[in-house]
Amino acid sequence: MDKVEEMAGLMKEQQRRLDDLQGRVIRLETVLELALHRPSGASGRFLEADGDPIDA
């Protein structure tokens, strides 16, 4: 394999990993924002998008 092609493959894999990590960070930020802005009287349960509690 040509070194340029090998390097291009490695760069694609690194970009895929960065994209995956970016998505994970965004999800963590969202959970943190929701937790920090939850009213103090709210229960500790998370809700589905439709407002139903998530069963643990």
- In tens, the pLDDT along 5-26 reads 999 999 999 999 999 999 999 9
The reported pLDDT for the residue numbered 51 is 64
Q: Extract the runs of DSSP E, i.e. beta strands, from the chain.
A: none
Which sequence spans correspond to the domains of the chain? 1-56
Write the Ramachandran bin of 45: left for phi over 0, alpha for psi from -120 to 50, otherwise beta. beta
pLDDT higher at 39 or 7: 7
Residue 10, SS3?
helix
The reported pLDDT for the residue numbered 38 is 83
pLDDT higher at 42 or 37: 37
